[in-house]
Amino acid sequence: MLRVGDRAPGFAAQDQDGELRTLDALRGQHVVLFFYPADETPGCTAEACAFRDEAEALRAAGVAVLGVSTQGVASHARFAARHGLPYPLLADVDKALCKAYGALGLLGVAKRVTYLIAPDGRIARVWQRVSPAGHAREVLAALQPA
């Protein structure tokens, strides 16, 4: 598991539209990278929809949101379309991204963990215990000045 202050590992992964997404392309802004076990499961759907519901506020705060699971592009495309998810879902079928971020769980699926990556590419915050329905608000609150 990565810790606050660590450099976020770079990545290149396809999203639900087949577009290659990289961390380098997002340099200079905050990035929320949330790992979740599987499309269309109750907790994962609640978490993804919570980020959908806070998408405008997150965008206004200058934050890019990316979801990650080990399922493929087609599964992510169906999931995003069914729930109107306005952000990229990265297909980590080779599990390299999950491994790099210490987010690979039992049975080869992603653990539910979220990283907030600062504009300089360092880990600013880690959530290892995530309550799916309220998590997006928790992340948004962490971005507000103290």
Q: Which residues are registered as beta bridge partners of 22? A: 12
Q: How far apart are CA 16 and CA 23, in angstroms?
A: 16
The catalytically annotated residue of 8, 31, 44, 113 is: 44
21-52 tens-digit pLDDT: 999 999 999 999 999 999 999 999 999 999 99
Task: Indicate the helix (H) or strand (E) that contains 47.
Answer: helix 42-53
Q: Catalytic annotation on 44? A: yes
What residues does each domain of the chain span?
A: 12-19+26-143
Q: Is the pLDDT of residue 87 over 70?
A: yes
Q: Which two tokens stand for residue 29?
A: 């802004």
For the beta carbon of residue 38, count every other beta carbon within 10 angstroms.
15
Give Cα 63 to chain centroid, integer Å: 11
Q: What pLDDT does residue 144 have?
A: 82
Give the pair of three-digit tokens for residue 134.
């309220």
Classify 12-19+26-143 by CATH class: alpha beta
pLDDT at position 146 over 70: no
